[in-house]
Amino acid sequence: MGKFEVKEDFYLNDQPFKVISGSIHYFRVVPEYWRDRLEKLKNMGCNTVETYVPWNMHEPKEGEYCFTGRFDIRKFIQTAHEVGLYVIVRPAPYICAEWEFGGLPYWLLKDPRIKIRFNNPIYMEKVKKYFEHLLPQFVDLQIDNNGPIIMMQVENEYGGYANDLSYMRAIARLMLENGVTVPLVTSDGPWGDMLENGSIPELALPTVNCGSKIEQHFERLRDFHGKELPLMVMEFWVGWFDAWGDEAHHTTDAHEAAKELKAILDRGHVNIYMFHGGTNFGFTNGANYYEKLAPDVTSYDYDALLTEWGDTTKKYDLFKEVIQSYGPIEEMPLSTEIKKKDYGKLTVQDKVSLFSVIDEISQPVESNYPLSMEELDQAFGYVYYKSSIGKAREIEDFRLIGCMDRAHVFVNNELEFIKYDLDIEDKESFTLTAPENDLGILVENMGRVNYSVKMNHQHKGIRDGVVVNGAFQSDWTHYSLPLDDVSQIDFSKSYQAGTPAFYSFTFEVDEKGDTFLDFEGWGKGVAFINGFNLGRFWEMGPQKRLYIPAPLLNEGTNEIIIFETDGKVNDSISLVSEPSL
């Protein structure tokens, strides 16, 4: 039996142990590449891998659990063990992680009595049921059962959200009651009241998250401990994430980051965030909201030590040099052959308007007032709202009330305008010219906010209503469009330029390789490869290409489907061997 202890330092099997860890999120990497990324972590000199655990992927609908494929956390931990790495697990319920709603499931928003991330009895009962399914997936893989798990974290950066320590203690107790035996930790920023707000030192070792000024932050942590305890940066930020509309991909200086790493290891322990970022596949990106909405791009490259597509970087080499000074590195041969391929230009083969197929891909729901995405029991994607607004006349006061995040407004299937975030409730006017007129509104969930106080207000779609000439419009038909099955789209139906539409491409593959979808000339939407949702694209950048890992391809025929919402399209796309970051 193994043993990992927290004393004045960390001890592994009664010997002092320096934790040198890197973050890899299994859910942001195709499973076929887990081993490759873990081997590269090991070869850089790390002895541990850390991962978050996203509740919303493991319990996508309340009471329905998923621990397979990209969400097979047990297999990821076992693979890390096979590679020779220890594991730190951060099992939620909240993870932040620039992930949709910080990893919380959307269905928590359906009950107004729930107060997320507080010691609220209804919320805690949901967490309890989830932990009863999640923790048995890996508690037998803890080190005292000869497994690789050496630590687990209680919640995440709670001191930056609230100071309900009864909640933190309740989460810790749930973990202990469900078989957690390894040391518990918390992680918070070292600024202001964050350590005081989020730490439960009687149950868990406090650690800090930061990207610079290590000496200063370690002194703050030492003072907070008040006694000799291990100093650890649980998130050593070596890069940053990108939001749509940012001027460029965020990068940090590799040499400065390496100096900070040395400062950490001279006095304590580290988890590098991120060692490998991966991809926000599908609609899983989170968002921030301060002065305005800032939804994250599909890439979670993070300027990490491995790129989004798994290449080592200058930062990787410099970190390896630092780590070598603390002990020899035993390298292992890489077991996964990864190639990059250019499959060339693909021309649109079929196209069909959303309005032509909407009744086939979505079941209409009738209501005399608009229903939010959560009321429609929908997690991600789009909702199309439709209502008859009557005879020809001037509409002098049109407003969307309680609408998030981006809306296309149509009259008789013709686009009137697009509304987004800060201007979404602004008054508009237009003229109805037909004898009878249909109003249509396509609303996109751009990603629920994953950090800070706006998390309490993340209902998507239209929550309050639509004002037409000063009064709320009634009698609505709703079409949920999570787009979780694009195989049912009938491309034989009609196409109308300038409207939201689906576009189909096919190509042949003799040899599978990683490739990058260049969407130059396209406006905004989402792309699918062989039915798998690759994620969002948007002409505003900074991301200009979508990463397609080779395991998502078929030898033989492959199909790409693009759903474009803004009517800005090209007659082709390209699959190239070079990324755009």
Residues acting as catalytic residues: 157, 235
For 134-180, give the DSSP string: HGGGTGGGBGGGTSSEEEEE-SSSGGGT---HHHHHHHHHHHHHTT-
Pick from 336, 248, 263, 292: nearest CA to 43: 336
Spatial distance between the Cα atoms of 379 and 56, rounded to a whole number of angstroms: 9
Query: What ranges make up the beta strands (E) of 308-420?
Result: 344-347, 350-353, 365-367, 382-390, 393-404, 406-411, 414-420
Residue with tokens 């407003």: 399
How many residues in the chain? 581
Spatial distance between the Cα atoms of 34 and 51, rounded to a whole number of angstroms: 12
Residue with tokens 């009321």: 375
Encode 212-236: b = buried (16+ Cβ within 10 Å), e = exposed: eebeebbebbeebbeeebbbbbbbb
Spatial distance between the Cα atoms of 165 and 177, rounded to a whole number of angstroms: 18
Q: Label residue 394 exposed, middle or buried (CB < 10 Å: 0-12, 13-18, 19+).
A: exposed
Pairing of strands 471-472, 350-353: unpaired
Spatial distance between the Cα atoms of 220 and 214, rounded to a whole number of angstroms: 10
90 neighbors 235 (Cβ within 8 angstroms): no
524 neighbors 561 (Cβ within 8 angstroms): no
What's the order of all strands across the beta sheet hosting 545-548?
344-347, 572-576, 515-518, 545-548
94 neighbors 104 (Cβ within 8 angstroms): yes
Q: Which stretch of DSSP H or E encloses residue 119? A: none
Ramachandran area for residue 92 (φ above 0: left; ψ -120 to 50: alpha; else beta): left
In this structure, what token pair is assigned to residue 539? 């002409």
For residue 507, give every residue at least 6 positions away whose Cβ sits within 8 Å of its Cβ, in sequence order, or none: 343, 344, 346, 557, 558, 560, 575
Neighbours of 7 (CB within 10 A): 10
17 neighbors 11 (Cβ within 8 angstroms): yes
- Torsion 344-345-347-351 (CA) sign: positive
Spatial distance between the Cα atoms of 461 and 443, rounded to a whole number of angstroms: 6
